[in-house]
Amino acid sequence: MRIDKYLANMNVGSRKDVHKLIKQGIVMINGEAVKTPKQKVVDTDEVMVGDKKITYQKYHYFLLNKPKGVLSATEDRSQRTVINLLKSEDRYQNLAPVGRLDKDTTGLLLLTNNGQLNHELLAPNKHVDKIYRAKIAGVANEETIKTFAKGMILGDGTQLKPAELKILNQNKDEDSSEIEIKIQEGKYHQIKRMFGACGMKVVELHRLSMGNLTLGNLPIGNYRELSEEEIKTIK
């Protein structure tokens, strides 16, 4: 791989920025200054920019506890996206959210530049469980549980796989419920549409987990890199 691409992929800077660093003589491969951006570099080479060692990593994985008011997108002209929540040094090329959470939905969101893994985690036939907690306007009951469990057909003909619903709390006086729901899909506004079809409205929605990934004690709006063990698990 060319050294300019290597460093650009590692978010040292744009290709143009890297060319400037090379001209300054501060880019080194195995202790020797790089003379041209076309110079090749391999995995066993030691690459330094100034006094900082740059170790190549093809794929990156970040776990984010998404806050409200942020888009699950890579860019937007007028609104903040989940990429804007990352430090500049962590905004690697082709980094994107795995699926999406609505703007007003909070919770677990995985960001990666591994496109194949992104696809596999979202594919319904891979049976990746996604667990959410929600506050509902309306009283969910045993009939709601049965309706979700047998799979639903929404008003527009969308066929949904069976979902597992747990009722955590019912408040008939306030006509509200707190629930936990497990699904294996992520269709457009799916959970909101499911409750809507039952005459209820989702007031708050928070994703707790995706497969074996959980937020733990990660504060809202914060993110962290996945551990090696977590990466092996999701693969």
**Any idea which architecture 61-124+212-234 has in CATH?**
2-Layer Sandwich (3.30)
Q: pLDDT by residue (tens digit) across 37-53?
A: 999 999 899 999 999 99
pTM over 0.85: no
Q: Is the pLDDT of residue 83 over 80?
A: yes
Cβ-Cβ contacts under 8 Å for 75 (sequence gap 6 or more): 81, 83
* Residue 187, pLDDT score: 86
Query: Which range has the worst mean pLDDT, 22-26, 77-81, 90-94, 137-141?
Result: 90-94
Percentage of the chain exceeding pLDDT 70: 98
pLDDT value for 127: 73
Tokens of 112: 């990666």
From the list 4, 45, 76, 102, the catalytic residue is 102
Residue 5 has pLDDT above 70, yes or no: yes
Residue 235 has pLDDT above 90, yes or no: no
* DSSP states of 100-129: ---TT-EEEEEEES-HHHHHHHH-GGG---
- What are the Cα distances from residue 110, in Å, to 37, 137, 155? 33, 29, 30
pLDDT tens figures, 154-170:
989 999 999 999 999 99
Taking only the tens place, the pLDDT of each residue in 100-134 is: 899 999 999 999 999 888 777 776 667 789 999 99
pLDDT at res. 124? 63
In the residue annotation, 102 being an active-site residue is answered as yes
pLDDT score recorded for residue 115: 87
| CATH number for the domain running over 3-53 | 3.10.290.10
Mean pLDDT over residues 73-98, rounded?
94
Q: Are 159 and 151 in contact (CB under 8 A)?
A: yes
Domain ranges of the chain: 3-53, 61-124+212-234, 129-210
Cβ atoms of residues 100 and 72 within 8 Å = yes
Q: Is 110 left (phi over 0), alpha (psi -120 to 50) or beta?
A: beta
CATH of segment(s) 129-210? 3.30.70.1560
Q: Dump pLDDT digits (tens) for 205-225.
A: 999 999 899 999 999 999 999
**Residue found under tokens 């170790």:** 55
Does residue 185 surpass a pLDDT of 90? no
Instruction: For residues 93 and 102, give the distance between their C-alpha atoms in angstroms, rounded to a whole number.
Output: 23
Q: Predicted confidence band at 150 (pLDDT cuts at 50, 70, 90)?
A: very high
What integer best gives the mean pLDDT of the chain?
93
Query: Is 3-53's fold the same as 129-210's?
Result: no
Nearest to residue 118, comparing CAs of 92, 90, 99, 93?
Answer: 99
Q: Is 82 helix (H, G, I), strand (E, B) or coil?
A: helix
What pLDDT is attached to residue 65? 98
